[in-house]
């Protein structure tokens, strides 16, 4: 991930989009450390923590649905 903000706004947007896709598989702790290093501040770190919490909630719900036979019901439809 680059700290540079050079280039046109479109280039910066494309670069952020590409880097965001490349970072999607990083552990959240790594992303938080990178945000601190880049000086992105508290909001980026908080957003990362909120996203992780949301993913954990979703995972629990999907696991519950699968355990209750939701996968089989969906297959039959």
Instruction: Say if 68 falls within a structural domain.
Output: yes
Number of folded domains that form the chain: 1
Q: Which domain holds residue 71?
A: 9-76
The helix or strand, by DSSP H or E, that contains position 58, with its residue range, turns out to be helix 41-67
Q: What is the maximum alpha-carbon separation in the chain? A: 53
DSSP state of 7: S
- Tell me the pLDDT of the chain (77 aa) as tens digits: 445 555 554 444 445 544 555 555 567 777 778 888 888 777 777 877 888 888 889 989 988 888 887 666 666 66
Contacts of 36 (CB under 8 A, 6+ apart): 45
Instruction: Say if 67 falls within a structural domain.
Output: yes
Instruction: Say if 1 falls within a structural domain.
Output: no
Quick one: which of 9, 8, 7, 44 has its CA closest to 28?
44
């Amino acid at each position: 991930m680059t700290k540079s903000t050079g280039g046109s706004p479109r280039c910066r947007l494309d670069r952020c989009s590409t880097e965001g896709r490349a970072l999607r598989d990083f552990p959240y702790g790594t992303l938080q450390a990178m945000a601190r290093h880049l000086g992105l501040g508290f909001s980026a770190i908080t957003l990362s923590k909120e996203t992780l919490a949301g993913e954990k909630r979703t995972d629990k719900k999907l696991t519950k649905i699968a355990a209750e036979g939701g996968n089989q019901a969906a297959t039959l439809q």
